[in-house]
Amino acid sequence: MRNFVIGCIVLFTMAGTACNRDSKLAEQGKASQEAGAGGTTKGPPKELAVDLGGGVNLEMVLIPAGSFMRGNEDAKPVHNVSITKPFYLGKYEVTQEQWEAVMGSNPSNSKGAKNPVEQVSWDDCQAFLVKLNAKAGGQGGKFVLPTEAQWEYACRAGSTGKFCFGDDEKQLGEYAWYGKNLGDKTPAVGGKKPNAFGLHDMHGNVWEWCQDWSGAYGAEAVEDPSGPTGGSLRVDRGGSWIFVGRFCQSGCRAGVAPGNRLRDLGLRVARVPAD
């Protein structure tokens, strides 16, 4: 059973289980180049392709530092959040072939190599990250789940509206697989338009686990928030193919017990500087 709470915070308690694209922000995502005495020094690449073996790659996009207003009319209070360091985020949700390349198994309900992996708990995702870092980590970077703040910042991609393209929900079908345009299973990733940062399926397809415990927002401006230090639910974001548009909004929040596995819940990987 899913119990809905006003405020667009969804508590999944299953037992056992805009276009206000800011061109300035999007431009920050390009790798910077600085002229020096010894020639030209390039910044980090705008995109990465991480080799997982067997011809399977994990494509990632550089997300620039910046700030945004987190929340919406349902998830209050709306407040300023600054992301002070650039980070990489998966261009797509983690697919079943990527999960299998790392874990050696595929737990998903709707099978398909290019479909997002689902039926994975937050705890399962932590095990995946340990193996992913052992397999393809290093070089100053670490694979993690994005924080809730990183996720919403990346989803908005400069937009201040309800969605990455603005407020008109009639356009949602161009960007998302959600409850009004899909049947009874998850589709392959990348089938809809990307946002201004080049990220696909940030709205819909499957919900995506974040690192944070679920908890109330404060009203003050914050830098790089990581959420509460404890709790009973972990945050997930983005809505899914089962849900109507309201729950696919950039500011919509949900929470799930970290041991639960759902057929419309997966993940997207971030890569940050190593500690």
Q: Do β-strands 207-213 and 265-266 pair in parallel, antiparallel, or remain unpaired?
A: parallel
**For residues 182 and 172, is the Cβ–Cβ distance under 8 A?**
no
Give the chain's domains with CATH numbers: 46-273 (3.90.1580.10)
Question: For 81-134, how does the pLDDT look when each residue is reduced to its tens digit (9 = 90+)?
Answer: 999 999 999 999 999 999 999 999 999 999 999 999 999 999 999 999 999 999
Least Cα distance to 210 among 197, 195, 227 occurs for 227
Residues 6+ apart with CB under 8 A from 127: 103
Least Cα distance to 94 among 117, 78, 112 occurs for 117
**C-alpha torsion angle, residues 126, 131, 135, 137 (rounded to 10):** 30
pLDDT computed for residue 41 by the predictor: 53
| Sole residue written with tokens 């603005």 | 166
- Tell me, yes or no, if the pTM score tops 0.75: yes
Q: Do β-strands 33-36 and 39-42 pair in parallel, antiparallel, or remain unpaired?
A: antiparallel
Q: Do β-strands 9-12 and 2-5 pair in parallel, antiparallel, or remain unpaired?
A: antiparallel
User: Could you say which residues of the chain have pLDDT below 50?
Assistant: 1-39
